């Protein structure tokens, strides 16, 4: 039982449970024991469900495709009834307590998932690492001096350590794909409006999304099937897919038109290790029958980045005020960069915010034109090969924070600003055996093509057997 998720993904274990070849409670107990042991090394889970809370979670799980599969929900963007969502902050550690599940969490339970805890995140998801002052740093199971990335690093660490086959993750600028890349996992950011954020209307001017990190492509696809769809009053709703996303993983993608980047848009150059990884991946795609050529979308990366900063700051200020419900953060309640972002956000005028949103939309049209010519845009997921702990700091100046942030998001954040789907696939490795995620972007609403391509790559170049030993 200890090695159950070494050999099986979530759908496979659920099938064993449905066929009564293994007991759901047996899976749950073994998983909790494994999670506790792994967490002692990785610091990835902030709260474990136990007692009455755990029994209620077991009772709430339906008989869907993930029947009996243990699951953790990130401490950001998703509420679980009866517990606070801390957003990685000391200020929100105990309140507000959620009265109801968010819409996506309710769908997770209906799909059969048994929520057993909450996973660590950076404060308000602002950092592409998972080192909050409240709760401490999460360690990458591939190497103890490295971060698993963020802000979904807690979820990625436990999946990389094979303590769970998949875990909830959110993505406002790359927070599904960055930890997937650094932990050797599959991570898909869905299109804007594909999964409802109810009861909130949106986050980050539509940039925020959620799904999971997973060992297999098909687990992410099946969870997307379970969570996809709108709720009454949603401000965005992605176009309905022609068939299930799981079905997309079972069919070939056809001959795709693939563009690849040797450097981020607006940059002069990139680490040769990453350039070589892109070139090898491009050759793999050609060998699979796809048309591949070097080409870059035409948009102003500097303006898009500046707009992202405006949106992040304004949302940080507003979200703290709304969640605090009249409480005022004390001197030690927020990390320095969070406080600086909030203070800056409070000074942003309506016209500045509107201009930022208009920049998002303008970039979306430019990216949309690019995807009239190509089906896929390929690059590395991040513009560095690894992330040592302490690289992106939240306890200093905004300048130092942004210096650490810059190479983490030049490929990912534009997808959030424009709402297009994107995924990180663990196809490449450094000379010393660390994973390098390859980033694939598609036109708005076309997760099916991404999932079909990912499954094709998974069959041709499987990654599941490449796993770390640091979390064991």
* Domain residue limits at 81: 4-460
Alpha carbons 285 and 291: distance in angstroms, whole number: 8
Of the residues 89, 155, 175, 214, only one is catalytic, namely 175
Residue 456 resides in a domain: yes
| CATH assignment of the domain containing 175 | 3.90.1300.10
Q: How confident is the model at residue 222 (pLDDT cuts 50, 70, 90)?
A: very high
Residue 337 resides in a domain: yes
Query: Would you say the pTM of this structure is higher than 0.85?
Result: yes
Residue 239 resides in a domain: yes
Residue 449 resides in a domain: yes
Tell me the pLDDT tens digit for each residue of 52-63.
999 999 999 999
Q: How many CA atoms lie within 13 A of 112 on its CB side?
A: 19
195 and 104 in contact (C-beta within 8 Å)?
yes
Residue 442 resides in a domain: yes
Tell me the pLDDT tens digit for each residue of 233-283.
999 999 999 999 999 999 999 999 999 999 999 999 999 999 999 999 999
pLDDT at residue 470 in the model: 56
Q: Is 74 a catalytic residue?
A: yes
Average pLDDT over residues 40-58: 97
Q: Is 94 a catalytic residue?
A: no
Q: How many domains does the chain have?
A: 1
Alpha carbons 179 and 399: distance in angstroms, whole number: 23
337 and 401 in contact (C-beta within 8 Å)?
yes
Of the residues 74, 89, 155, 196, only one is catalytic, namely 74
Alpha carbons 300 and 374: distance in angstroms, whole number: 19
Residue 78 resides in a domain: yes
Q: Answer positive or negative: Cα dihedral of 128, 132, 133, 136.
A: negative
Computed over every residue of the chain, the mean pLDDT equals: 97
Of the residues 151, 214, 216, 386, only one is catalytic, namely 151
Average pLDDT over residues 435-446: 98
Residue 470 resides in a domain: no
CB atoms closer than 10 angstroms to residue 443:
19
Residue 257 resides in a domain: yes
Q: Is 41 a catalytic residue?
A: no
């Amino acid at each position: 039982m200890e090695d159950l998720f070494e050999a099986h993904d979530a759908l496979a274990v659920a099938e064993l449970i449905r066929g009564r070849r293994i007991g759901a409670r047996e899976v749950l107990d073994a998983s909790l024991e494994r999670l506790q042991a792994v967490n002692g090394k990785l610091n990835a889970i902030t709260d474990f469900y136990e007692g009455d809370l755990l029994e209620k979670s077991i009772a709430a799980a339906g008989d869907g495709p993930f029947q009996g599969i243990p699951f953790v929900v990130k401490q950001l963007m998703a509420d679980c009834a009866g517990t606070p969502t801390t957003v990685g902050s000391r200020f929100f550690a105990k309140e507000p307590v959620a009265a109801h599940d968010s819409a996506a969490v309710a769908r997770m339970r209906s799909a059969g998932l048994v929520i057993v805890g909450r996973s660590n995140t950076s404060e308000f998801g602002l950092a592409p690492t998972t080192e909050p002052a409240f709760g401490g740093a999460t360690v990458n199971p591939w190497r103890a001096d490295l971060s698993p990335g963020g802000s979904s690093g807690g979820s990625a660490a436990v999946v990389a350590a094979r303590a769970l086959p998949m875990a909830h993750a959110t993505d406002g600028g790359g927070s599904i794909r960055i930890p997937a890349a650094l932990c050797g996992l599959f991570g898909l950011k869905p299109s804007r409006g594909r999964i409802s954020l109810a009861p909130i209307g949106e986050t980050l001017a539509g940039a925020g999304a959620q799904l999971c990190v997973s060992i297999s492509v098909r687990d992410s696809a099946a969870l997307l099937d379970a969570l996809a769809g709108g709720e009454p009053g949603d401000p965005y709703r992605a176009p309905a897919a022609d068939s299930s996303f799981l079905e997309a993983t079972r069919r070939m993608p056809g001959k795709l038109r693939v563009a690849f980047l040797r450097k981020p848009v607006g940059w002069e150059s990139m680490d040769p290790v990453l350039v070589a990884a892109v070139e090898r991946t491009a050759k793999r795609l050609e060998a699979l029958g796809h048309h591949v050529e070097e080409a870059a979308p035409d948009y102003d990366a500097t303006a898009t980045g500046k707009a992202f900063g405006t949106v992040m700051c304004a949302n940080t200020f507003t979200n703290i005020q709304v969640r605090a419900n009249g409480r005022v953060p004390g001197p030690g309640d927020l990390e320095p960069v969070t406080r600086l972002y909030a203070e800056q956000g409070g000074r942003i005028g309506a016209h500045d915010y509107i201009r930022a949103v208009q920049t998002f939309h303008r970039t979306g049209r430019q990216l949309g034109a690019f995807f009239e010519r190509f089906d896929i845009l390929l690059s590395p997921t991040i513009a560095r090969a690894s992330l040592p702990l302490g690289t992106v700091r939240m306890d200093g100046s905004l300048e130092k924070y942004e210096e650490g942030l810059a190479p983490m998001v030049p490929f990912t954040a534009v997808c959030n600003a424009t709402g297009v789907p994107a995924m990180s696939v663990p196809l490449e490795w450094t000379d010393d055996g660390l994973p390098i995620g390859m980033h694939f972007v598609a036109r708005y609403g076309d997760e099916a093509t991404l999932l079909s391509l990912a499954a094709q790559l998974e069959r041709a170049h499987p990654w599941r057997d490449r796993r770390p030993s640091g979390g064991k």
